[in-house]
């Protein structure tokens, strides 16, 4: 099967997942009706008579922003995971390794506990504090690693990132002890959810994902060389320290923005890149966008499961990504190895 | 020409090289000899700009630390021991990545015709033309090292630094690699500077040697002119000459 055919199939599968996320739910909406509602909203056409206005409202105001946000967040996390795994030459690395989630959680925790609200755009208080907390922790980790190790070697970055992350987590745990009646809000944010997303959030996230993924693709060759080792990349002519900073900043921007909007959702950043490498090889100018596509589709399906399987209750989507993703990953990753061994 | 003047370098604040001065003129091969921990690899890392240093390390009179990575990559490349392959690439893609310094920085830029021609030539030289679509993690140790040799050659450097590239290779592959590098340097007037543990293999690469011990250069020159049993005893704390001769006797076959 040619790579181009695989890419076309993957794009089709991604669109299918997105449509599924929009149409399926406690109130099923057919594809035809979905198209009619979208057309009526975009082009101000009259709604067909058989579609109640409430259905149109459910689709346009709840389902679509939710599905689109799930897709974008999955894309951001997966592209970021692919990058961090290559930059740090560690198949288990992600932005979370450097403390994005713990930093974001601490900042959001402080915001909730102090009751601080932005004077303008108060609805963005938690996303903004999560974003700043997450990115701040990564840059602190990188700054400290740079002080300890002039060359910013991967082992130093990972060690400093993990230690800082654990420390920030410990402070967050201490905070929860004093959270009182705000504890529920804190834990709910940490579990991650796509509910209550708006089109304006989606627009912001779309801009970050497009910028982040395109910028990462620009550094595809550098990432390819970095997977051979730092000495090899330097010897080939990569300005390693500068490129490493840029790549870590870009992937932290993607993860930080995702975490800011929906909380901490793990696993997709780990599995999507590995599965994509299995299918498409390791060229990062393919791996990064395809990971984004796969991660996006996977996240929409995970969210669909989270909101429908025990409806009207909703499961934490982070738990669903792990529950679906872990066996799927083992099947794809180790199943193929076994097939190769016995071929 | 590569020249070190009074260079000190090391790791974590502790010097491994102590006031090293030596030079490598253009063309031909050199090998660095000495016991483990004497600073051979550290010296190579200074020459390749991978390690900060005090003193002066000069490439054609220009301080190596002041050169940008692409400038340095246009003159020299490093071939190390077998790499751990974290993620699978095809042999062709691996060799093509050696063209990095020649490629324009574009989002969706494709390799030029010239890049493709160089890659084809390097694949042929390394005997990997038939394995171009094979993944690196499906290659044997020897094939993998040849893939990285082709990657290094695709960079089109004037100087290749060898950091024990023959580890994990069988004896035939070791000899083939060294012979090829000798041919590459003599045919093109290029330079090879190698760190090899096996003294016999090192001498097959070059008779021009630099002996090191405890971070200092002891002697540099033609092996036959600077090394005798007493000197080798002093370098390695064992009688290398005696060991080599007794090893050779084991190969004598009675008529």
d(CA B163, CA B45): 9
**Chain centre distance of CA B87:** 24
Residue in chain B lying closest to A215 (CA): B107
- Residues A331 and A328: their CA atoms lie apart, in Å, by 5
Buried b or exposed e, range B186-200, using 16+ CB within 10 angstroms: eeeebbbbbbbeebe
Is the model more confident about A224 or about B253?
A: A224
In terms of average pLDDT, the best of A310-314, A330-334, B151-155, B182-186 is B151-155
pLDDT at B105: 62
The reported pLDDT for the residue numbered A26 is 79
Q: What pLDDT score was predicted for residue A272?
A: 92
pLDDT, one tens digit for every residue, chain B (255 residues): 899 999 999 987 889 999 999 999 988 899 999 999 899 999 999 999 989 999 999 999 999 999 999 899 999 999 887 667 778 899 999 999 999 988 866 666 678 889 999 999 999 988 899 999 999 988 888 888 889 999 999 999 999 999 888 877 788 888 988 998 988 888 888 999 999 888 889 999 999 999 999 999 999 999 989 988 889 998 999 888 888 888 888 887 655
Best mutation target, B86, B98, B110, B164, to test chain A (most A CBs within 10 A): B86
Predicted local confidence at residue B160, as pLDDT:
93
Mean pLDDT, chain A, as a whole number? 87
pLDDT score of A324: 82
SS3 of chain A: CCHHHHHHHHHHHHHHHHHHHHHCCCCCCCHHHHHHHHHHHHHCCCCCCCCCHHHHHHHHHHHHHHHHHHHHHHHHHHHHHHHHHHHCCCCCCCHHHHCHHHHHHHHHHHHHHHCCCCCCCHHHHHHHHHHHHHHHHHHHHHHHHHHHCCCCCHHHHHHHHHHHHHHHHHHHHHHHHCCHHHHHHHHHHHHCCCCCCCHHHHHHHHHHHHHHHHHHHHCHHHHHHHCCCHHHHHHHCCCHHHHHHHHHHHHHHHHHHHHHHHCCCCCHHHHHHHHHHHHHCCCHHHHHHHHHHHHHHHHHHHHHHHHHCCCCCCCCHHHHHHHHHHHHHHHHHHHHHHHHHHC
Domains of chain A, with CATH numbers? 71-342 (1.10.3470.10)
pLDDT digits (tens, 9 = 90+) for A225-265: 999 888 889 999 999 989 998 998 898 889 988 888 888 88
Q: Please tell me the predicted confidence (pLDDT) of residue B109.
A: 66
Q: For A235, which of B78, B86, B103 is closest by C-beta distance? A: B78
User: Over the stretch A32-42, which tens digit does the pLDDT of each residue have?
Assistant: 888 888 888 88
How large is the C-alpha radius of gyration of chain B? 19
Which residues of chain B neighbour A218 with C-beta distances below 8 Å?
105, 107
Section A122-130 average pLDDT: 83
List, in order, residues 6 or more apart from A44 with CB less than 8 Å away. Answer: none
Q: What is the model's pLDDT at position B107? A: 60
- pLDDT of B214 reads 92
Domains of chain B (ranges plus CATH)? 1-68+161-255 (3.40.50.300), 76-156 (no CATH)
The reported pLDDT for the residue numbered B57 is 95
Residue A116 pLDDT > 60: yes
pLDDT, tens only, A58-105: 899 999 999 999 999 999 999 999 999 988 888 888 878 888 888 888
Q: Which one of B50, B76, B86 has the shortest CB-CB distance to A227? A: B86
For residue A343, name the pLDDT band (cuts at 50, 70, 90).
Answer: very low
Residues of B with CB under 8 A from a CB of A: 45, 48-50, 52, 68-70, 72-74, 76-78, 80, 83-84, 86-90, 93-94, 97-98, 100-101, 103, 105, 107-108, 135, 152, 155
Q: Which candidate in A4, A155, A217, A228 is best for mutational testing of the B interface (most B CBs within 10 A)? A: A228
Query: Where residue A195 falls among pLDDT bands split at 50, 70, 90?
Result: confident
- How close, in Å, is residue A251 to chain B by CA atoms? 18
Question: Hey, CA dihedral for A251, A254, A257, A259, is it positive or negative?
Answer: negative
Q: Find the residue in B nearest to A149 (Cα).
A: B12
pTM, entire model = 0.86
B25: helix, coil or strand?
coil
Which residues between 257 and 286 in chain A have a beta carbon less than 8 angstroms from any beta carbon of chain B?
A: 277, 281-283, 285
Residue A55 contacts B where some CB pair is shorter than 8 Å = no
Instruction: Tell whether A244 is within 8 A of chain B (Cβ).
Output: no
Q: Is B58 helix (H, G, I), strand (E, B) or coil?
A: strand
Query: Could you tell me if A187 and A109 are in contact, meaning their C-beta atoms sit under 8 angstroms apart?
Result: no
Contacts of B105 in chain A (CB under 8 A): 218
């Amino acid at each position: 099967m040619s790579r181009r055919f695989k890419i076309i199939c993957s794009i089709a599968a991604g669109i299918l997942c997105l449509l599924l996320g929009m149409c399926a739910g406690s109130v099923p909406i057919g594809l035809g009706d979905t198209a009619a509602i979208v057309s009526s909203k975009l082009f101000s056409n009259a709604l067909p008579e058989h579609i109640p206005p409430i259905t149109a409202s459910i689709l346009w105001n709840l389902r679509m922003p939710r599905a689109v946000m799930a897709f974008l967040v999955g894309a951001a996390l997966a592209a970021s995971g692919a990058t961090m795994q290559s930059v740090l030459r560690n198949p288990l690395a992600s932005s979370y390794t450097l403390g994005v989630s713990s930093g974001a959680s601490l900042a959001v925790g402080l915001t909730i506990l102090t009751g601080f609200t932005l004077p303008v755009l108060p609805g963005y208080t938690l996303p903004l504090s999560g974003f700043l907390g997450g990115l701040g922790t990564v840059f602190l980790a990188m700054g400290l690693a740079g002080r300890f190790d002039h060359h910013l070697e991967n082992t130093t970055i990972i060690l400093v990132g993990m230690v800082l992350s654990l420390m920030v987590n410990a402070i967050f745990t201490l905070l929860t002890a004093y959270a009182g009646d705000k504890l529920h809000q804190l834990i709910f944010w940490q579990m991650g959810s796509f509910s209550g997303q708006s089109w304006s959030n989606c627009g912001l996230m779309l801009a970050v994902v497009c910028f982040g993924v395109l910028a990462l693709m620009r550094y595809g060759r550098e990432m390819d060389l970095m997977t051979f080792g730092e000495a090899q990349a330097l010897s080939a002519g990569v300005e390693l320290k500068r490129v490493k900073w840029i790549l870590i900043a870009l992937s932290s921007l993607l993860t930080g923005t995702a975490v800011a909007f929906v909380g901490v959702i793990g696993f997709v950043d780990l599995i999507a890149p590995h599965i994509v490498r299995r299918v498409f090889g390791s060229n990062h100018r393919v791996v990064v966008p395809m990971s984004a596509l796969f991660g996006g589709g996977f996240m929409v399906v995970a969210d669909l499961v989270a909101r429908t399987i025990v409806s009207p209750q909703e499961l934490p989507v982070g738990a669903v990504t792990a529950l679906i993703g872990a066996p799927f990953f083992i099947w794809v990753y180790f199943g193929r190895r076994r097939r190769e061994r016995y071929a | 020409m590569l020249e070190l003047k009074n260079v000190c370098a090391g790791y974590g604040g502790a010097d491994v090289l102590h006031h090293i001065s030596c030079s490598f003129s253009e063309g031909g091969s050199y090998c660095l000899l000495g016991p483990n921990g004497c600073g051979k690899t550290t010296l190579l890392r200074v020459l390749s700009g991978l390690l900060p240093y005090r003193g002066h390390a000069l490439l054609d009179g220009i301080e190596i630390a002041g050169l940008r990575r692409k400038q340095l990559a246009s003159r020299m490349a490093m071939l190390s021991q077998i790499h751990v392959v974290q993620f699978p690439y095809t042999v062709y893609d691996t060799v093509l990545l050696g063209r990095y310094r020649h490629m324009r920085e574009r989002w969706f830029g494709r390799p030029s015709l010239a890049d493709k021609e160089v890659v084809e030539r390097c694949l042929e030289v390394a005997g990997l033309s038939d394995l171009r679509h094979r993944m690196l993690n499906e290659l044997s140790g020897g094939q993998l090292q040849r893939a990285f040799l082709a990657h290094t050659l695709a960079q089109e450097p004037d100087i290749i630094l060898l950091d024990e590239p023959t580890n994990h290779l069988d004896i035939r592959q070791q000899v083939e690699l060294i012979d090829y590098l000798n041919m590459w340097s003599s045919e093109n007037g290029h330079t090879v500077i190698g760190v090899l543990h096996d003294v016999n293999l090192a001498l097959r690469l070059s008779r021009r040697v630099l002996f090191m011990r405890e971070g200092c250069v002891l002697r540099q020159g033609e092996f036959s002119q600077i090394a005798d049993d007493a000197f080798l005893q002093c370098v390695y704390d064992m009688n290398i000459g005696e060991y080599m001769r007794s090893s050779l006797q084991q190969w004598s076959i009675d008529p």
